[in-house]
């Protein structure tokens, strides 16, 4: 199969956009990981198998390059071998990927890579951004790193301990890639055509906008799974004892303010669907807060079996999930009516 992404072009494009701070070191995450893993296992009831994957501090360029390799491997795995290519397509794809990663390399604090296509999973902690975040917020950098690590280790628990969760998302992604016939050039033209008909306040989500109707339900289910993953990790972060994270309230407030993107970053977020990723934090968080208010064990039941996964409608109306699980004999409290429309009081990590 022909190369789909020209790595050198992707790395070069990303490097052009990344401001690299000088003299930034990387921290040893051994002790922090052990502490965070105990917190995550206690709150989720899921096993992490901590020694089986890497937790590594990286700079912004390192984060971008890890993601270029990971995305390229995933795209090549999911792309049908008989899909036709054209001259220059690998370079065009590389510039698009490198540009996107370069634009956001200064914002990401940590990331769990579930290894859908690479050899082993890993967590990349962007120490450069963690230190910058801590300095601006006048917070302890190691405490910030611990808090972020709780979020990323929760993703590790979801995708490692819950086999069906990982496999279902991968199956949906495979359906989307193998069935789509839109080339990057066609997609770019479609973007500008659609944007002409949108007001400046609208958000564009390419996860569904350019898909045929038969694939939109697949994309919606994939989005639901990702919303559950992000909302659950956000909820776990906000359950950590203040004895462990003394400045948790300040972290939450600063993170929420940080997510209010403006300027060029907002436009990029609208075009790439990252704006909708941010809504995944708040929608998913509201869902987990609501079901936990009815039954403290309810968040664990989401991951107990595929039947526990909420539907798209249940995410926006957690009472539906509570009623369904109660009818199925899963022991969730029956005060479901009080959940409809209940505000969470918090907004959802980037």
Tens of pLDDT, residue by residue over 142-184, are 999 999 999 999 999 999 999 999 999 999 888 877 776 655 4
Domain around 295: 164-350
Q: In what order do the strands lie in the sheet with 122-126?
A: 54-58, 122-126, 110-113
> What is the spatial distance between Cα 275 and Cα 273, in angstroms, rounded to a whole number?
5
**Residues 56, 65: Cα–Cα separation, whole Å:** 14
| Cα 125 from Cα 119, distance rounded (Å) | 19
pLDDT score recorded for residue 105: 93
For 239-276, the pLDDT digits (tens) are: 999 999 999 999 888 887 776 654 444 444 444 444 45
Same domain, residue pair 282 and 333: yes
**How would you classify the pairing of strands 54-58 and 122-126?**
parallel
Q: Residue 350's pLDDT is what?
A: 39
- Looking at the fold, whether 339 and 205 belong to one and the same domain comes out as yes
- Do 152 and 174 share a domain, yes or no? no
Judged against a pLDDT cut of 90, whether residue 232 lies above it is answered with: yes
Residue range 188-198: mean pLDDT, rounded: 48
Same domain for 37 and 63:
yes
Q: How many Å apart are CA 160 and CA 152, to the nearest integer? A: 12
**Per-residue model confidence as pLDDT tens digits over 268-290:** 444 444 445 557 678 899 999 99
Query: Which domain-ending residue is among 136, 161, 186?
Result: 161
The per-residue pLDDT for 208 is 53
| Domain-located, residue 140 | yes
Decide: helix, strand or coil at residue 110.
strand
Residues 342, 194: one domain?
A: yes
| Cβ proximity of 151 and 233 under 8 Å | yes
3 is a domain residue: no
Is there a single domain that holds both residue 66 and residue 136? yes
Domain boundary residue among 129, 161, 193?
161
The CATH number that applies at residue 141 is 1.20.150.30
Q: Is residue 2 part of a domain?
A: no
Q: Two tokens at 161?
A: 């301990």
**Side-chain half-sphere CA neighbours of 337 within 13 A:** 0
More confident residue, 38 or 276: 38
Residue 249 lies in a domain: yes
Place of tokens 């051994």: 30
Q: Is the pLDDT of residue 314 over 90?
A: yes
Q: 81-86 long-range contacts, Cβ below 8 Å, gap at least 24?
A: 81/1, 85/2, 85/4, 86/183
Task: Give yes or no: residues 103 and 155 share one domain.
Answer: yes
pTM: 0.83
> What is the rounded distance in angstroms from the CA atom of residue 348 to the CA atom of residue 336?
23
Shared domain for 83 and 179, answered yes or no, is no
229 inside domain: yes
Do 96 and 228 lie in one domain? The reply is: no
Domain shared by 109 and 178, yes or no:
no
Q: Is residue 1 part of a domain?
A: no
Count of domains in the chain?
Answer: 2
Residue that terminates a domain, selected from 161, 184, 217: 161
């Amino acid at each position: 199969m022909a190369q789909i992404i020209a790595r050198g072009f992707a790395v070069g494009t990303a490097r052009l956009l990344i401001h690299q701070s000088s003299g930034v070191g990387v921290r040893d995450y051994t002790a922090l990981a052990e502490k965070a893993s105990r917190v995550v296992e206690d709150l989720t009831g899921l096993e992490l198998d901590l020694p089986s994957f890497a937790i590594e501090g990286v700079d912004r360029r390192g984060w971008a390059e890890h993601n270029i390799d990971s995305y390229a491997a995933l795209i090549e795995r999911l792309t049908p071998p008989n899909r036709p290519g054209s001259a220059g397509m690998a370079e065009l794809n590389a510039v698009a990927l490198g540009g996107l990663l370069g634009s956001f390399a200064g914002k990401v604090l940590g990331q769990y890579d579930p290894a859908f296509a690479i050899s082993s999973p890993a967590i990349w902690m962007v120490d450069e951004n963690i230190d910058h975040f801590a300095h601006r917020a006048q917070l302890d950098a190691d405490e910030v790193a611990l808090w972020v690590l709780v979020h990323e280790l929760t993703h590790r628990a979801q995708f490692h301990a819950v086999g069906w969760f990982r496999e279902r998302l991968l199956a949906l992604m495979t359906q989307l890639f193998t069935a789509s016939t839109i080339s990057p050039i066609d997609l770019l033209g479609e973007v500008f055509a659609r944007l002409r008909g949108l007001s400046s306040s609208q958000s564009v989500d390419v996860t569904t906008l350019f898909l045929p109707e038969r694939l939109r339900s697949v994309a919606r289910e994939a989005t639901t799974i990702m919303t559950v993953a992000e909302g659950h990790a956000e909820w776990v972060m906000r359950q950590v004892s203040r004895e462990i994270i003394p400045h948790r309230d300040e972290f939450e407030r600063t993170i929420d303010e940080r997510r209010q993107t403006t300027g060029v970053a907002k436009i990029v977020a609208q075009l790439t669907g990252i704006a909708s990723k941010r809504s995944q934090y708040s929608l998913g968080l509201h869902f987990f807060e609501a079901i936990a208010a009815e039954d403290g064990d309810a968040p664990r039941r989401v991951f107990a079996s595929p039947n526990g996964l909420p539907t798209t409608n249940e995410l926006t109306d957690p009472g539906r999930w509570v009623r369904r699980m109660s009818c199925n004999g899963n022991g969730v409290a029956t005060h479901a009516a009080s959940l409809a429309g209940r505000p969470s009081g918090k907004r959802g990590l980037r």
